[in-house]
Amino acid sequence: MRGMKVTKSLKSFLTGVALAFAAGSLAIAVGWKMYADATATAATSAPTPGKQSIAKSLRALHGAAGLPAPTWARQTLQDLHPGTYADARLLAPDLVLASRGDGVCLVTRRGLSQCRDRFNLGHAWIAGDMIRQTDSVDAPFDVHIYGVALDTVDVIHVAKGDGTLVRIPVRNNVFRATLPDTEFDDLNRIDVATGTDVVSSTPAERFFPKLR
């Protein structure tokens, strides 16, 4: 008799705990959705008038290049700006491109994800980061450079301070490279090239500020 009472009490207790977890999870989900919607609304405004569409100038978004965007990328696109992204394509490992109005969204699995309505170096959008090879304060850095370029761009050149020139080919309007054992401080210049012609050039520090 006493055993049955204890079992019943335990069942009630566990039901209460489960209910609390369910209610808490629901509250977190609803709260987060409301917060995200409010933040997104606050950031929205009309597009800048008088701009050319960069989305139209990217052939990879108008054909069958690459593969359909995987779920992780579609989720990030929805997080950035809710929409359909019918043309979202995986164009390089862990790198997805999609149009959004006249602009374009770049989504990476490990790195930058953002939409833009203009490029930052002539006909190219240069992005990247510097991450240690292992999670140790003594580990060397790798620099990851990636981005988007118009149909006319063939290659991105990254000149290092030691005289090395890293050539990053553009395929399907995107590019991506890892410069091992490299820090932002080691980068000197970035060129955007068509064939053998450099069409845009800038000190690397503009995108990858030196720390020292």
Partner 1 sequence: MSLSRRWLALGFLTGSLAMAPVALAVGWTDVGGAGIRLNERVGLEVHTANPVYSSQMRLYVTVHSPCGGDNFQFGYIYPDGGSYYALSGTYEICTAQETPAYWNVNGGNKFAQCKEIFEEPSNPTSTCQRYSTT
* Residues engaged in binding partner 1 (CB under 8 A): 5, 8-21, 23-25, 27-28, 32, 35-36, 39, 42-48, 76, 79-81, 100-101, 103, 108-117, 120, 126-132, 135, 137, 184, 206-209, 211
Query: Nearer to partner 1 by C-beta: 117 or 151?
Result: 117
Q: How far is the CB of 179 from partner 1 (least distance, A)?
A: 12
Amino acid at 101: G
Residue 154 and residue 197 in contact, taking contact as beta carbons nearer than 8 Å: no
Residue 187 and residue 143 in contact, taking contact as beta carbons nearer than 8 Å: yes
Q: How is residue 56 written in tokens?
A: 């139209």
Query: Nearer to partner 1 by C-beta: 100 or 123?
Result: 100
Residue showing tokens 């965007």 = 69
Query: Nearer to partner 1 by C-beta: 12 or 164?
Result: 12
Q: How is residue 65 written in tokens?
A: 């290049």
Q: How far is the CB of 120 from partner 1 (least distance, A)?
A: 6
Query: Nearer to partner 1 by C-beta: 94 or 151?
Result: 94
Residue 195 and residue 184 in contact, taking contact as beta carbons nearer than 8 Å: no
Q: How far is the CB of 135 from partner 1 (least distance, A)?
A: 6
Query: Nearer to partner 1 by C-beta: 11 or 59?
Result: 11
Instruction: Name the region of 181 (left: φ>0; alpha: ψ -120 to 50; beta: rest).
Output: left
Interacting residues of 67 by C-beta distance below 8 A, sequence separation 6+: 89, 90
